[in-house]
Structure 1
Amino acid sequence: MIENKNVLLGVSGGIAAYKACALTSKLTQAGASVRVMMTQNAQKFVSPLTFQALSRNPVYTDTFDEKNPQKIAHIDVADWAEIAIVAPATANTIGKLANGIADDMLSTTLLATQADVYIAPAMNVHMYGNPAVIKNMKQLEEWNYHFIEPGAGFLACGYVGKGRLEEPESIIETVSLHQEQTGIKGNLDGKKVLISAGPTQEKIDPVRFFTNRSTGKMGFALAEAAAELGADVTLVAGPVSLETTLSSIKRIDVITAEEMYQAMHNHFSFNDIVIKAAAVADYRPKHTYVEKMKKQPGEWNVEMERTQDILQTLGEEKDQQFLVGFAAETANPLEYGLKKLAKKKLNAIIINNVSAHGAGFGADTNIATYVNTSGQPEEISLTSKRDMAFQVFAKIDRDMKDEKL
């Protein structure tokens, strides 16, 4: 997805600028047409001549250096670019973009471009965690800038922690994957998508309840991806602390498994794609108490009863819907996932080993295996939950077009 693309590489003033040399070389080797734009401080770390030799194109450093009187350079480059990558992106550059400041050629060009912009931060671990930097990054994310998270390790300042510029190969892989995902934008136009997310809470008394570790991040990522792909999205959310960032998503908040059961069944028949990503309680207390239960001598046994199996009943009622389930496992995940796929009459299942590093509840990343009715597992390697959501919909879109699935 990089080959034959016009890539603007913005290099700002950090020691990690030396990695941008390798990134320029690898982008060029991958078939991209690369133009490099450097801030004044970036030139103190690496010479523009280095990037000119690696990219085989002139390097831009000064807004007012207009070599062609027929064109305004920064507007011309902004229009030319199909992809813009800022690597390294310093706290200063991120702050400028988040606040609309255009005081050099890089910031001016980035404000003018309509290209997809990818930001790869690199800075001291404490700077990366500074509330101002966090706020600026969140603002840019809301404006659909795409972040490539830094790695953790030994930093040039001597600290050990998060803030090291991601490796060039990983940056290219991330950009390529996202470009592939955005290539399916519009594929869900006219589709109605129903998604459940988060845990449920099963009450014992006014102060106690049973729940699980689900945070709803994967389900919310799926909902937002579906909306960005053009779908009409309904999200049934258990008790989570997440906000829906897209106003087009219709959100229904529930607490208990029974409430989620009712909400999913009420909307099921109106939707084309249904994904049950919620971690619904399998059991609830058989008896609940109006008043708080006080401590008593000895043991307290809570008798539990089964909740209704939402996915099972949806599978039994399925007509034309493409129904997808999740299987969160810790042992033999593929075996149990395949059994669930068949038993619950699903079109596809997403299998998680929640004990794997980088996956599971609460993480911003995930690892999964996607399996449709062909039974052929497709691995989705470690990536952000947002990126995984787009990969899932790419596979669903493909499978819906295959009549045999």
Structure 2
Amino acid sequence: MLASKRILLIIGGGIAAFKALDLIRRLRERGAQVTPVLTRAGEEFVTPLSVSALAGNKVFRDLFDLTDEAEMGHIELSRSADLIVVAPATADLMAKMAQGHADDLASTLLLATDTPVLIAPAMNVRMWQHPATQRNITTLKGDGIGFVGPAEGDMACGEHGPGRMAEPLEIVTAIDAALSDGPLRGKRIVVTSGPTYEPIDPVRYIANRSSGAQGTAIARALAVLGAEVIFVTGPADVAPPEGVTVVKVETAQQMLEAVQGVLPADAAVFAAAVADWRVASASSSKIKKTKGGLPVLEFAENPDILATVSQMEQGRPDLVVGFAAETDHVIENATAKCARKGCDWIVANDVSHETGIMGGAENDITLISDAGAEDWPRMSKSDVAARLAERIAQALA
């Protein structure tokens, strides 16, 4: 897909700029032509020489460069690309884009183009969460700017949270999707996956047998069709797919907060096996085994993520898909769940022990919607994901 594609790569300032070097290498491995633009702040983290050597191309740096303007003006530079990628996209660059500023080469290129733009944000967690940045994000998405990331994790400043730039391979996949004609191009979809761990004490927790394989396959299939996928996952057995924004959580409450934090979206697929209950007051120290007595655990109900999102008055995704893992009366229970939760579709499956589905490689589902119950033949979880992704694309078309 990327062979002979022309990528204009704008490298902003920030410690994440070092990832841009690997991104250039990955793009060139796939046959893309990379024209780099380095901001003044970006030069504080990577050198023009290293960027030029990896890109095999001249680095553009200054707006008022007579030679550059004579050979290729900044307007032509931006319009001759198939895609403009900003990585890292700092809070400052995003603010300039949202407000239409053009006071340096990078911001001028971004304003003087009708070429599609994909940005990979990278900044401190407080900057990312600041209302001004969130307003800019809403503006940029409304303008049709594509996003990849940010991911959640440890920051160079020592803090933890959303704001880490997506990894180079994730950005490459997003570039591939942005340049494809996939039916979900331009759509933002949230997928939850895996189990949740509800702590009893620092060493024990309540969990279930979900491997996360089905949710992971769904996220991958949606990304292949061009969607921007936000993958909110519990502690799964399988690695998250490449090319999606990964948000790792452990508890049901954390999963709900993560989902709410990444909305709005065009669709949401809730494939996670969320624990229904948690210990009301988890112990801060290990509960000791004592002679002649058992610990008494008081339970509390976990938040209902599917119902919460399905019943949102504002910002509800156009399509909300839930999962119903049942062991008896599968169709009846799943149909009732769909009505009770208020979602659009329910993917129902029989997870009785003898089916081998929970934690296995195959799935046997029934898709429940307003049209009724549609039985699918037993197939691999990857095939289920591909078929479901195609149905989602049809519904969002």
What band does the TM-score fall into relative to the shorter chain? 0.5 to 0.7
> In the alignment, is the contact (CA less than 8 A) between 1:324 and 1:346 conserved in 2?
no
In the alignment, the residues of structure 1 paired with residue 263 and residue 363 of structure 2 have an alpha-carbon distance, to the nearest angstrom, of: 18
Task: Please state how far the C-alpha of 1:393 moved relative to its aligned partner.
Answer: 5.1
Q: Pick from 347, 364, 371 the counterpart of residue 326 of structure 1.
A: 347
Letter matched to residue 100 of structure 1:
G
State the Cα deviation string for residues 168-195 of structure 1 (Å, max 9, x = none): 1111122223433546779xxxxxxxxx
> In the alignment, is the contact (CA less than 8 A) between 2:347 and 2:367 conserved in 1?
no
What's 1:340 paired with? 366
Q: Secondary structure at the match of 1:64?
A: coil
Q: Secondary structure at the match of 2:60?
A: coil
What does residue range 215-230 of structure 1 map to in structure 2 within 5 Å?
221-222=266-267
State the Cα deviation string for residues 233-254 of structure 1 (Å, max 9, x = none): xxxx963133379xxx9xxxxx
Matched, 1:49 2:49: yes
What runs of 5+ residues in structure 1 fail to find an aligned partner?
187-212, 224-236, 250-274, 281-304, 313-322, 349-371, 382-387, 398-405
In the alignment, the residues of structure 2 paired with residue 61 and residue 95 of structure 1 have an alpha-carbon distance, to the nearest angstrom, of: 20
What's 1:27 paired with? 27
Task: Please state how far the C-alpha of 1:309 moved relative to its aligned partner.
Answer: 6.8
What's 1:105 paired with? 105
**RMSD over aligned Cα, in angstroms?**
4.5
Letter matched to residue 131 of structure 2:
P
Flag the 1:121–1:243 CA change in 2: closer, same or farther, 3 A.
same
Q: Pick from 222, 225, 241 the counterpart of residue 313 of structure 2.
A: 241
Letter matched to residue 126 of structure 1:
R
What does residue range 376-387 of structure 1 map to in structure 2 within 5 Å?
377-378=381-382
What's 1:143 paired with? 143
What does residue range 72-83 of structure 1 map to in structure 2 within 5 Å?
73-83=73-83
In the alignment, the residues of structure 2 paired with residue 48 and residue 244 of structure 1 have an alpha-carbon distance, to the nearest angstrom, of: 45
Matched, 1:90 2:90: yes
Letter matched to residue 221 of structure 1:
D
| Structure whose alpha-carbon radius of gyration is higher | 1
Task: Please state how far the C-alpha of 1:380 moved relative to its aligned partner.
Answer: 8.2
> In the alignment, is the contact (CA less than 8 A) between 1:181 and 1:391 conserved in 2?
no
Task: Please state how far the C-alpha of 1:339 moved relative to its aligned partner.
Answer: 4.8
Letter matched to residue 64 of structure 1:
F
> In the alignment, is the contact (CA less than 8 A) between 2:363 and 2:380 conserved in 1?
no
In the alignment, the residues of structure 2 paired with residue 177 and residue 330 of structure 1 have an alpha-carbon distance, to the nearest angstrom, of: 34
What's 1:180 paired with? 180
> In the alignment, is the contact (CA less than 8 A) between 2:78 and 2:113 conserved in 1?
yes
Count of paired positions: 268
> In the alignment, is the contact (CA less than 8 A) between 1:83 and 1:115 conserved in 2?
yes
Flag the 1:6–1:378 CA change in 2: closer, same or farther, 3 A.
same
In the alignment, the residues of structure 2 paired with residue 44 and residue 220 of structure 1 have an alpha-carbon distance, to the nearest angstrom, of: 36
Q: Secondary structure at the match of 1:67?
A: helix
In the alignment, the residues of structure 2 paired with residue 326 and residue 35 of structure 1 have an alpha-carbon distance, to the nearest angstrom, of: 45
In the alignment, the residues of structure 2 paired with residue 306 and residue 160 of structure 1 have an alpha-carbon distance, to the nearest angstrom, of: 40
Letter matched to residue 67 of structure 2:
K
What runs of 5+ residues in structure 2 fail to find an aligned partner?
187-255, 269-308, 325-331
In the alignment, the residues of structure 2 paired with residue 220 and residue 54 of structure 1 have an alpha-carbon distance, to the nearest angstrom, of: 36
Normalising by structure 2, we get a TM-score of 0.55
Q: Secondary structure at the match of 1:114?
A: coil
> In the alignment, is the contact (CA less than 8 A) between 1:347 and 1:373 conserved in 2?
no
Flag the 1:378–1:62 CA change in 2: closer, same or farther, 3 A.
same
Matched, 1:13 2:36: no
> In the alignment, is the contact (CA less than 8 A) between 2:35 and 2:58 conserved in 1?
yes
In the alignment, the residues of structure 2 paired with residue 105 and residue 148 of structure 1 have an alpha-carbon distance, to the nearest angstrom, of: 23
> In the alignment, is the contact (CA less than 8 A) between 1:219 and 1:278 conserved in 2?
no
What's 2:64 paired with? 64
Flag the 1:184–1:45 CA change in 2: closer, same or farther, 3 A.
closer
What's 1:392 paired with? 390
In the alignment, the residues of structure 1 paired with residue 264 and residue 130 of structure 2 have an alpha-carbon distance, to the nearest angstrom, of: 28
Letter matched to residue 108 of structure 1:
T
In the alignment, the residues of structure 2 paired with residue 178 and residue 75 of structure 1 have an alpha-carbon distance, to the nearest angstrom, of: 22
> In the alignment, is the contact (CA less than 8 A) between 2:348 and 2:367 conserved in 1?
no
In the alignment, the residues of structure 2 paired with residue 36 and residue 337 of structure 1 have an alpha-carbon distance, to the nearest angstrom, of: 46
State the Cα deviation string for residues 303-359 of structure 1 (Å, max 9, x = none): xx99987999xxxxxxxxxx97633888746899735259987668xxxxxxxxxxx
In the alignment, the residues of structure 2 paired with residue 309 and residue 380 of structure 1 have an alpha-carbon distance, to the nearest angstrom, of: 23
In the alignment, the residues of structure 2 paired with residue 389 and residue 129 of structure 1 have an alpha-carbon distance, to the nearest angstrom, of: 36
Q: Secondary structure at the match of 2:347?
A: strand
In the alignment, the residues of structure 1 paired with residue 264 and residue 323 of structure 2 have an alpha-carbon distance, to the nearest angstrom, of: 10
Flag the 1:160–1:116 CA change in 2: closer, same or farther, 3 A.
same
Q: Secondary structure at the match of 2:27?
A: helix
Flag the 1:220–1:119 CA change in 2: closer, same or farther, 3 A.
closer
